[in-house]
C-alpha cells in the first residue's frame, strides 16, 4: 500500500529536486529517479510528481489524497463520472 502524500514528504522531495543541477526542469537523470521514487512511495501520477518536484500545487495534491484516504476509511464510494448528453 502506498504511503499517504503529506506536505512534509512533498516539500522534502521538492527540496531534494532544488539541490540537483539545473537542467531546465527536464525529467532526466537524477530528477527522473527522484520523480519515480515519489510516484512509487505515494502512489501519485507522473504529472503530480513532476509538479511537486517543480514546486507547483503541492498543497492541492496533499489535500486531494487526504480526502481520498478519509473517504476510503469511511467507506464512501468514489463519485461516478457524469454521463454526457448527446
The structural domain count of the chain equals 1
82 located within any domain: no
10 Å Cβ neighbour count for 45? 10
pLDDT digits 0-9 by tens, 38-77: 999 999 999 999 999 999 999 999 999 999 999 989 987 7
41 located within any domain: yes
Residue 70 has what pLDDT? 92
Residue 57 has what pLDDT? 97
pTM, full prediction: 0.86
Query: Over the chain, what is the mean pLDDT?
Result: 92
86 located within any domain: no
56 located within any domain: yes
80 located within any domain: no
Range of the domain at 28: 7-74
Residue 84 has what pLDDT? 82
Amino acid at each position: 500500500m502506498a504511503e499517504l502524500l503529506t506536505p512534509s514528504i512533498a516539500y522534502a522531495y521538492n527540496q531534494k529536486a532544488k539541490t540537483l543541477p539545473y537542467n531546465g526542469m527536464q525529467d532526466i537523470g537524477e530528477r527522473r529517479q527522484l520523480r519515480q521514487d515519489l510516484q512509487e512511495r505515494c502512489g501519485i501520477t507522473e504529472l503530480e510528481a513532476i509538479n511537486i518536484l517543480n514546486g507547483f500545487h503541492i498543497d492541492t495534491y496533499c489535500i486531494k489524497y487526504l480526502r481520498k484516504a478519509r473517504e476510503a476509511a469511511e467507506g464512501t464510494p468514489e463519485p461516478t463520472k457524469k454521463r454526457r448528453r448527446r
